[in-house]
Amino acid sequence: QVQLAESGGGLVQAGGSVRLSCAASGRTTSSYNMGWFRQAPGKEREFVAAISPSGGITNYADSVKGRFTISRNNAKNTVSLQMNSLKPEDTAVYYCAADRFGGVPVRTTEWTYDYWGQGTQVTVSS
């Protein structure tokens, strides 16, 4: 069993930056694809970014391409999401997730992910 814990959320002004981190415990996630999803108020949860076990393959939602960067540190069992040029529409609860599949393509649908964190709130003010 894998437990995921997100951190780093908060309130930021539009145009600013936030770095989210996700720490995994229970077992190593080095063979798993890891992803970030988000859910805005009144909306369904949506894919944000995902990364392969080696970190060599990444996948991003069109809405965040060029602004967000996903990375991982397998030695520390962590995955991060650097978010730059934030917009009010990025306001959401951000969730870290782990996909035991670990292969390619790096998947973007939430039902394929096996483990989830509790989420961290990011609020972008205009």
The 3-state DSSP class for residue 80 equals strand
Residue 67: the pLDDT is: 98
Q: Are 95 and 116 in contact (CB under 8 A)?
A: yes
- pLDDT tens for the 126 residues of the chain, in order: 999 999 999 999 999 999 999 999 999 999 999 999 999 999 999 999 999 999 999 999 999 999 999 999 999 999 999 999 999 999 999 999 999 988 888 999 999 999 999 999 999 999
d(CA 63, CA 57): 18
